[in-house]
Structure 1
Amino acid sequence: MPKGKEAYRSVVPRINPVLLEGEIVTLFYSFVAVLMALRRGRYFLIRLSLTVCVGFEMVLYWIWQEGNTRKRT
């Protein structure tokens, strides 16, 4: 492993918690959009919003995985 790699992994940019909060809020907003589309019968929006929800869930999973790898090293 190259020198300084451990120090690089241990430093988390200060913007990361703000970005995480934005991801969570946007996931919630997309989930509400799915519920509203179900209520109003907008089937195109249901598929679109579900796709968006899955994308934000993937990002949150990657953030969680990155946090776990930082804790292990």
Structure 2
Amino acid sequence: MPPVGGTCAYPWLTATEARAFSEWLVDQHGVLLAPDVMFEHTGQHLRFGMGRTLFPEGMATLAQAWPEWLRVTS
């Protein structure tokens, strides 16, 4: 039986602005990471929902997208 709740991580993003990165990531790659402003927090955090079925694929896409983000924003 699948769990009722899920697991999430809330890492601190130090290299860029969390909201801008999360908006770009969903627009360009279809991966949604919720920025901290959605939870009335500040401090450049992103929420990762690790209980999703497609989590491994999302992480693989994130690993490819991060260097691209750094190139387009530098």
Give TM-score scaled by structure 2 length: 0.32
Larger strand proportion of the pair: 2
Relative to total residues, which structure has the larger helix share, 1 or 2? Answer: 1
